[in-house]
Structure formats: C-alpha cells, structure tokens
Structure 1
C-alpha cells in the first residue's frame, strides 16, 4: 500500500508542468528563507558565534551534497583543471564567505524583517549586473524587456520604502516571561547594535549574492555539473571560513554547541542551503 501511494505521488508530481514545478519549488524556497531569517537571529541571540555558525553549516552541507554530486554527475562532470579550481574558489569567496559573512553581521545589527526586506533588492541588482556584463539583454521594444525594467524599479522601490521607514514598536514587553526558551527571545530590533553598520553589511550581502548568481552563469556553461559546482564551491567556502574562524575566534567555548536550539538552527540553515540547490535541479 505504501509503495502504491508513493508511486501515485510521483506520477502526480510528474504530471505537473515543468514551469509549475519550478514556481512551486521557488515558493517553497521563499517560505524557507522566511524561517531562516528568524532562526538565524534566534541563534545569534543565544550567543552562537558568527564565525563558527557558517563553518558548521557548510560542513554539514558539504557532507550531504558531495555524495550526490559524485554519483549522480559522474558522466557529465568535466575534468577538474586549475582554471576551474580558481573559478570555484572565487565563487566561494563571493557566494559563501562574503555572502554569509555579511548577512550574519548585518542580521546581528538589524532585525529579521529588515534583512528579509532588503533581500528583495537582489533580483534588481542581479539584473543590473547581468545587463552591464551583457549576460542579460535588455530589449525595451519588447514586452518582456519592459517587464524586466519595470520589475527592477518596483523591486528597488519596495525594498527602499521598508528599509528607510522604521515605524514605532507595536509590542515590546517590559519584562521577559519566566522560563522562556532562548529560541523565543525578542527577534525585533537589535538593541545596542549599530543599525547603520548593519545596513552596510546587508548591502554587501546583497551585492555578494547577486555577484555570485551572475558569475555562476559562465562557469556552468563550461562546467555543466551543477551539484558538483555547488559542492566545490561549498568546499572552498568551508576552507575560507575555517581559516578566518581559527584566526579570529580564539574562544574555545565558541566551538561548542550548548543547546538543542543552537543545533536546530545549524541544521535549519543547512536545509535552507540544500533547498536552494534543489531549485537548480528542477527541469526548465
């Protein structure tokens, strides 16, 4: 009965048009991102190190991705050359080290809502970068070209409004209820932090993310094994973060997981990364 149900589910999913599959996958990814902002901020509130957190995140992500990349892409994976190694290293520097590093620094100084809002500028920045590098063509005499330009303007306008306007606090309890788990600490504004510096960090995060998306396009044309590209990028990102953490994070206690909530936040961050990779596996 279980096999019958599983087969039926697979058939139903296969019957869904490919474009609809991609849209559903992207929708699921956005829900995952929403939770990621909250869970990451909760982890920072619990005192988890901003350098150790991405190290553990990328270790687990690499362990999960590498076997699938090795076995599923044996036939389509080109030989690894020095040129590809340099490109993967640069992708990791931009897409993992700078991206995740700026994000955690920005989130620590602002709020999950703000971090989520400013990320809405990523599609616009990506489109502008791709247009400047002539990877994306802008045809103002066609409907799709006008739609891209209009979408970019609206995207930047929406992110700017919610970024520049910081309204009054709706609810702020004066005292914390007793026995409240650390995961449910206030996730609002970062009190005692530098909001301006947090904005700068998050802008750097958006620029890094957009740059990573744009730089992947020419790499994937020459190295079409997507999971392998992601695994190599994750590997070099892990090495970069590990070196930075070993040099800067001198407190040995920062490398310990002190609670189940901290462990949950690490695994949730990993699942968010895996979901992003799976989006690229949906047929176009």
Structure 2
C-alpha cells in the first residue's frame, strides 16, 4: 500500500519544490540576473549535489555505461535540461508569468500524444481507463488555462499575515532588469520549452529501462547540461559582473533550482517514470499553478479570484481522473498477466501428465493392447 502511494506523494512534493523555484527565480531575474546564467548555475550546482549519491549508492549496482547509453543520456540533457530550461526562462523574460504558466500546461497533453505515438502509453479510448486518462488530461489543461486567463471577482478571504516584504524590496530595486515582453517570441519559446520537456519524458522512459540507475543518469545528464548551458551563457554574456553571485537572492535561486529542481527532481521523476510511465509524472504539472497561486497570496500578497478557485478544482478533478484511469489500467494489466501465467502453468501441467510413463498393464484409449515397460 505504501509502495503504491509513494510515487503520488513524491510527485506532489516535487510540484511544491517547483513552486518555490518559480518564486525565487522570479526574484533573481527581477534583481537583474540573466536567465541563461541562472540556468547554467542551476546545472552546475545540480551536478555537484547529485554526484555523491551516484557514487555511494550505485557504485556496486550500476549497469555498464555504454556508448548507446551515453547517447541516450545526452539526448535527455539536450531536451529536458538545456532546451527546456533555456527556452522557458528566456520565454518568461519576454512574456508575463501568467501566460508562461498557462502555456507550459500543454505538457500533459503533449506527453500523452507523444507517449501514445511511441507506444509507451495505451490510449484504449473504448475502455473506461483509457477514456478517463484522455478526459482527465483535457480537464487538467482546461483548468490550467481557466486559472491563468480568467480572473472573475475577488474572493474576500483577507490579507495574508506572512507577507514576504523582501519580495517588494527586490522588485522595486531590480525593476530595471526586466527587458519587457514580446507578444510572439515569449509565448513561442514557452511552448517550445513544454515540447522539449514532453520529449524528455519519452526519452527518459526508454533510458530508465535500459539504464536503471537514476542517480548516475541524473549526474551525467546534469554534467552534460552544465557544459552546454555554460557555453550558451558565456556566448550571450561573458562579463564577470553578470556571473557574480554576491547578491543573496541570486545565490539562493541558483542553489535552490540546482539542488531541488534538478538534482532531486530529475532523480525522483526518473524513478517515477520507471514505476508508472511518463504520462503519470507529467500530469502532476498543472498542480504547480494551484500551489503557486496559494504561495503568491500568502507570501506576495496577490489576490485570489473566482477563476483561480474554479480552475484549481478542475485541475484536481482532472488529475484524479487520470490517476484513477492509470490505476485501473495497471490493475487490469496485472490481472491479465496473472491469468496468462496461470494458463501457461495449466498447459505445462497438462503436458507433464501426457508425457508421464503409463504403469505396467495399463491400456491406451480404446485400444486393446497393453503397454509393457
């Protein structure tokens, strides 16, 4: 029972971690930190954080690292670490956070389509489990869009008593660091980020089967991504002042993003994909909007609207539908395997009975002859 509950709990906690990253990273960007430099530091700190776990926990159980495995990990680093994060943070810099969050929630739908195309996920629309997964995914995306684009009336629940005054100070001091928005470029890059993330889920699903060592896989992936992102960051801005981490919020944002949202997140997601498949993991992403909305109200004094509450309820309902469909599908597959094993066992027993030597003097069928041993 606990083993079945662990993937659910782990993925919910991951979304809480991602929500914290959104807040700290937003403050770092508002303080004037360049998004590509933040991404580069994120990969470097992630590599340093996860490497000891890979060495101590998997040095005896780690499968052999072959060239095909390295190539698969390289593709994972190029899509899930480099492309996804570079596109998202540059897109976030060129659009509003609301639009970025909304467009990023095409992830479950994109993952479901790709997983179905690569036969990592059964659609089964004629079954209740398949219909629940399809409708649940659509409800999750619809709820995320509603939460982001529709406000409605303000819900009068009062002001939060734990408002983070440091956020106000950072926003006012670093407002000059914003570069404005681009109506086309920002949304386009955020959608490209979601597609790169969906591709990573599919690639990681195959890599986890061929190389079941999540800590080692994450270490190599983050190391490759740190090289890729550092080259990109230096190419765009090579001034030493731009790479300075003297500001506390920049250091906290880089450490938090690297350790929590790369090192821990990639390891947990790789393990969850290995256990439940790529769709199961990706469908938790709309929860991020709900958590961010709550934290934004509590820490940043943002208001809660009717659209926020209705969208959150739709996200939870859609998530429950997908999880129900996935659970029913896995139980059906398990029952089918048990029936297949039982059938094979019966066939094996029948063959053994047929091949056993007959006792002396026994007769075969309707013939009158006896068998002499």
**Same-fold status (TM-score > 0.5):** yes
Q: CA deviation at 1:154?
A: 1.7
The number of residue pairs the alignment matches comes to 260
Q: Distance in 2 between matches of 1:94 and 1:227?
A: 18
Q: What residue number does 2:94 align with? A: 109
Change (3 A) 1:51 1:110: same
1:194 is matched with which residue?
182
Is 1:39 aligned to 2:28, yes or no? no
Partner Cα separation in structure 1 for residue 245 and residue 174 of structure 2: 21
User: Would you say the 8 A contact 1:121–1:206 is kept in 2?
Assistant: yes
Q: Which has the larger radius of gyration?
A: 2
Contact map agreement 2:92 2:186 (CA 8 A) in 1: yes
Following the alignment from structure 2 to structure 1, what is the Cα–Cα distance between the partners of residues 179 and 86?
20
1:273 paired with 2:262, answer: yes
How far has the Cα of 1:34 moved from its partner?
Answer: 1.8
1:242 match? 230
1:253 pairs with 2:249: no
Measure, in 2, the Cα distance between the counterparts of 1:72 and 1:273. 18
Residues 95 and 180 in structure 2, CA contact (< 8 A), matched pair in contact too: no
- The whole-number CA distance in structure 1 between the counterparts of 2:237 and 2:223 is 20
Aligned residues of 2:94 and 2:181 also touching (Cα < 8 A): yes
Say if 1:127 and 1:186 are closer, same or farther in 2 by CA, change over 3 A: farther
Please give the TM-score of this superposition, normalised by the length of structure 2. Answer: 0.63
Root-mean-square deviation (CA, aligned residues, Å) is 2.9
Normalising by structure 1, we get a TM-score of: 0.81
| 1:65 aligned partner | 50
Which structure is richer in relative contact order (CA contacts within 8 A, separation 6 or more)?
1
Q: Give the 3 Å change call, closer, same or farther, for CA 137–180 of structure 1 in structure 2.
A: closer
- The 5 Å alignment of 1:12-23 reads 17-23=2-8
**Matched position secondary structure for 1:141:** coil
Q: How does 1:1-284 map to 2 (within 5 A)?
A: 17-162=2-147, 165=149, 180-182=168-170, 192-270=180-258, 271-280=260-269, 281=271, 284=275
Alpha carbons of structure 1 residues 150 and 80: separation in structure 2 relative to 1, 3 Å: same
Number of the residue aligned with 1:11? none
Work out whether residues 41 and 108 of structure 1, in 8 Å CA contact, stay in contact via their aligned partners in 2: no
Aligned-pair CA distance for 1:166: 6.6
- Residue 186 of structure 1, CA deviation: 9.2
